[in-house]
Structure 1
Amino acid sequence: MISDREQHPRRSVHADASAWGEMLAAVYRDIADRSMRDLPIFNEALSVEAIGFREREGRVVGMMVTPWFMNVVTRMRDGTSQSSPGTNLRLRFPAGDIEFTVSELAPVGSIARYSLFSPMFEFEDMASARASAEAVLAALMSPANRAASHGPDAPNISPIDRRTFLRGVQTERRA
């Protein structure tokens, strides 16, 4: 008998990536409830949400929005990385290279994260945080943003500067 994954591999990969994002969100919801809610960096208007998790070149990637940060997050491949918590890992995206920080998050294991916003007080509500996360993820997956992030003469291997990248996303969104 042929499994659902064999019959519909793209749908299964997407479902796996989405499920991993939801598992990650559940971990951050627990962290929010246990230890973050009373801290001054916690934005009560926001909640924890996994946004746009998908498979890209064999790696799960998406946006994690919490009341205290917004990060691009990727799942570390089991047994394929020599990176340990606290080290940096450069990954290539259509918009350019991003330098992630590797960390360990029980019970999901090793993740790599790229911080976009922290704290999150510039967001008045979850709809605006979600819209920003979706816009950043779309820009990251767009090769057209490589030139905007790096400039016409920059080599392809230079990492994306967060401020320049976000200014490009914010300019594109407002236009």
Structure 2
Amino acid sequence: MTGSAPASTSGPAGGADAAAWGELLAASYREIGERAMRDLPIYNDALGVEAVGFRPYDDTIVGIMVTPWFMNVVIPAGAIAPATSGANVRMRFPAGDIEFILSEVARVGRIASCSLFSPMFQFSDMDAARATAEAALAEMMLPADSEEAVRRREPATSPIDRRNFLRGALTERRG
């Protein structure tokens, strides 16, 4: 990894290092936004650039980068793909495997990112974008076999029972 990104992600200072790395990445994207993205039709003027939830995870850092043109899960590529020459790498999270695309960002170095949204026009403001990023990160960290994950996968309503359907028990009565 190049640039001035923090090297340590473990121990008590790990969270501070992760937040600092997220802020360094956000500063790079703010610069990119001003220099190259602002006038493009995919730029949502209602949004800004923000590093959301950057934290230590499995000997690296993970968080979500929100910009006016994308929302991506981002990790430093050095810890997961130090010798990879390909364009993609997979990483296991509690919710399952996620495939990342490797790229280079000025002042930060190699990163791995997974797109969640692009463009960002479905978000009317930063509060909505931030809430979505926080929810996505929480889902990534929720083990796939946990009670909460299983509950969320269950249908909100029971499947239509043919017998009740034919009896009219599932239809609304109007009168």
RMSD: 2.5
Shift of 1:80: 5.9
For 1:14, the equivalent position in structure 2 comes to 15
Segments ≥4 residues shifted beyond 6 Å: 145-149
| Matches of 1:114 and 1:75, distance apart in 2 | 12
Is the 2:29–2:67 contact (alpha carbons within 8 Å) kept by the matching residues of 1? yes
Is the 2:80–2:91 contact (alpha carbons within 8 Å) kept by the matching residues of 1? no
Is it true that 1:36 corresponds to 2:33 in the alignment?
A: no
CA distance 1:99–1:146, shift in 2 (3 Å): farther
Is the 2:95–2:142 contact (alpha carbons within 8 Å) kept by the matching residues of 1? yes
Q: Which amino acid aligns with 1:128?
A: A
Larger relative helix fraction = 1
| Matches of 1:73 and 1:20, distance apart in 2 | 11
For 1:100, the equivalent position in structure 2 comes to 100
Give the total of aligned pairs: 144
For 1:57, the equivalent position in structure 2 comes to 58
Is the 1:95–1:146 contact (alpha carbons within 8 Å) kept by the matching residues of 2? no
CA distance 1:148–1:101, shift in 2 (3 Å): farther
Q: 1:11 aligns to what SS in structure 2? A: coil
CA distance 1:118–1:79, shift in 2 (3 Å): closer
* TM-score when normalising by structure 2: 0.75
Task: Tell which structure's C-alpha radius of gyration is larger.
Answer: 2
Is the 2:63–2:73 contact (alpha carbons within 8 Å) kept by the matching residues of 1? yes
Is it true that 1:87 corresponds to 2:87 in the alignment?
A: yes
